[in-house]
A and B are shown apart, each in its own frame.
Chain A
Amino acid sequence: MSYIVATEQLSKRYGSRTVVDSLNLRIPAGCVYGFLGPNGSGKSTTMKMLLSLVRPSSGEVQVMGQPMNRGTRRRLLGHIGSLIESPPGYGHLTGRENIRLVQRLLDLRDEQIDQAVRTVRMQDQLDKKVRDYSLGMKQRLGIAMALARQPRLLILDEPTNGLDPAGIEEIRDLLRRLSDGGVTVMVSSHLLGEIDKTATVLGILSGGRLIFQGTRDELFAASTPDVLIDTPHPEYANTQLKGMVASRLDHGAVRVSGIGDQTTARVVAHLVGAGVDIYGVRRDEQSLEDVFMDLTGGGGL
């Protein structure tokens, strides 16, 4: 598989505080990569290192097969669109004047600008001053500025922050269209629900460490759902399991966490041996949110 972004043991330390710890990101070309993690988990710092806005303390960033550093930054940035922190835009100028600044800065053609503006559906809003834009319009203008260079890679840091549900859906739709058009999109969020349906590959960061990277299905597989044991005597059954596994009562059943199939068999045999009637044994249904919460330890979500 070809990766448009790959990092090797990428770390960032400020004094004794490690913000990003030995990250090995692998972003396949053409995907929408959902970069998830609680606030303060190191997502923005990682994205800034990918853009060479922040120097790594150790490790390496490869973008489009080339190392990203001060020497290569300017050339590589010509192929990377980005929206980091708040959307850019000079409030005293109109949307059109703002996007012309980007055009001159990057020496872009009129067609490139027109296409970027149409992609974010801002063609009818360009003559307003940016200070009169809503947050959603500012985000879309920022994305248009990022898209104007027709990037191969688009890095968006929490683009749905502060948007209403309609705005969030609009960004989701935009990301899908960009991905269909061959642009690799890396999008960060601290809310799984915001990018869960859009991202084809997920990376989950917690405390500066990458605790999961893979597809949605792989994420489900990475987490073992709890086992629920239905019995007419749940209190007695729960007492029998003390010291053997982590169990607790749950709505008339016994919930056992973190056990595989073989341990499940042993638990059932143990209960049967203790004279507990068992009506049913099943795995709990887990939402992606539950898996995410499990992996991040509920980190502030």
Chain B
Amino acid sequence: MANEFAKMRHLRMGLIASVMVVIVTGLSVAGAATSPAFAVPSGRSWEALLGGMSLAVPLASPLLLAVLASRQVDIEHQGNGWLLSQTSGVTPGGLCRIKLLAVGIVVAVVTILESVLVLVAGLLLGVPDRVPAGLWAGYTASVLVANLVVLALHVLLSARIDNQLVGLGIGVLGTIVAVFATALPPAMAHLTPWGYYALVAAAGYQGTQLVALTPAYGSIAALGAVAAVLFVIVTGRFDRREA
């Protein structure tokens, strides 16, 4: 694991992670703060911030997660790192698992930081209502699961397909799916990992009314479980692949 963090040097992973935080926080706060009902008692200010995040996260995360995964995996293709690891006793699947863990920690920090910064911004901007702490935490955890699942998918894609443009292209398609999934029927949103960003939205408009929503906790938990099993199976297959 320490090696994966050492490999991140000079890869600008910190910069990409920072861009994610800035985009999500900036869009969420800017969107909410320009609303006339913001920071007014019973003005649904927290819902506005959660709604902003529910739009900003699917906009920024899919592509930037693809970039993070691609940069961390492509170095193995470029540097003959798969063979170096194999001849040191670390299988290709094992290396993918370690990479998910290492980049996953970065993504977890980013996701939590985004959430905390938006919360702090709300407090600093003088939102008078009580913080919906349970919903906030639930939404943050749900986004974290969706982010990790998308990251896992891109780690596998980048490892399997040498041409990283493929993974990045899928990241762009994922962004489109994630942004427009709110307009899809929930059953269709369940079909791709990017659709889950819409399913876990913590606030949104019903007609012209901004309302708090309950993230689809059951669905996101199921996604996490299925993705974990699939990741273990696929990386297990990588282990049996010949050099």
Chain A residues in contact with chain B, CB under 8 A? 48, 51, 53-55, 73-74, 77-78, 80, 82, 84-93, 97, 100-102, 104-106, 129-130, 145-146
Contacts and interface: CB of A to CB of B under 8 A. Distances in A.
Contact of A77 (B6, B78, B80, B89): B89
A101 B4 CA distance: 9
Given A86-B80, A88-B81, A105-B85, 19 more contacts: A48-B242, A51-B86, A51-B87, A53-B87, A53-B242, A53-B243, A54-B243, A55-B242, A88-B79, A88-B80, A89-B79, A90-B75, A90-B81, A91-B78, A92-B75, A93-B7, A104-B2, A104-B6, A129-B10
Nearest to B89: A74
Contacts of A86: 80
A45 B73 CA distance: 25
Contacts of B10: 92-93, 129
Contacts, number: 70
Contacts of B88: 77, 102, 105-106
A145 B3 CA distance: 15
A145 B11 CA distance: 22
B84 interface: yes
Contact of B6 (A54, A73, A100, A146): A100
Contacts of B83: 53, 84-85, 88
B80 A87 contact: yes
Contacts of A101: 3, 6-7
Interface string B1-39: 011001101110000000000000000000000000000
Contacts of A87: 80
26 contacts: A48-B242, A53-B87, A53-B243, A78-B89, A85-B83, A89-B80, A90-B7, A90-B75, A90-B79, A90-B81, A91-B75, A91-B79, A92-B10, A92-B11, A92-B75, A93-B10, A97-B6, A101-B3, A101-B6, A101-B7, A104-B2, A104-B3, A104-B6, A105-B88, A106-B88, A145-B84
A46 to B, nearest CB: 13
Contacts of B85: 105
Nearest to B239: A70
A61 B88 CA distance: 18
A101 B79 CA distance: 13
Nearest to A78: B89
